[in-house]
Amino acid sequence: MKPTGKYVFFSIIMLVTGFFLSYSYQITKKEAATHETNSQWKQEDGLRSGILRTQKTNRKLNGELKKIQLQIQKRENKLADQEKKSYNLVEDLKKMRKVVGSVKVKGPGIEVTLSDSSYVPEGENPNNYIVHEEHIRSVIYEMLVSGAEAVAVNGQRISHSSYITCVGPVVSVDGNQYPAPFTITAIGDKSVMEKSLNLSVVSDLVNDGIEVRVATKDGITMDPYLSKEG
For residue 182, the model assigns a pLDDT of 96
Is residue 184 a contact partner of residue 114, using CB atoms and an 8 Å limit? yes
CATH number, span 101-222 = 3.30.70.1880
Residue 194 has pLDDT above 70, yes or no: yes
Instruction: Tell me what the mean pLDDT of segment 186-207 comes to.
Output: 94
Degrees, nearest 5: CA angle 99-103-109: 60
Amino acid occupying residue 157? R
CB neighbour class for 103 (10 Å; exposed up to 12, middle 13-18, buried from 19): middle
Residue 64 has pLDDT above 50, yes or no: yes
pTM of the predicted structure, to 2 decimals: 0.58
Residue 201 half-sphere exposure, CB side, CA atoms within 13 Å? 24
Q: How confident is the model at residue 71 (pLDDT cuts 50, 70, 90)?
A: confident
Q: How confident is the model at residue 32 (pLDDT cuts 50, 70, 90)?
A: low
The residues with which 113 forms a beta bridge, in sequence order, are 183, 213
Q: How far apart are the first and last CA of the chain?
A: 155
Residue 229 has pLDDT above 50, yes or no: no
Summarised one tens digit per residue, pLDDT across range 84-115 is 766 666 665 555 555 555 578 899 999 999 99
Residue 75 φ/ψ region, left for φ over 0, alpha for ψ in the -120 to 50 degree band, beta for the rest: alpha
Calculate the average pLDDT of the chain.
80
Is residue 107 a contact partner of residue 149, using CB atoms and an 8 Å limit? yes
- Nearest Cα residue to 129 out of 44, 49, 207: 207
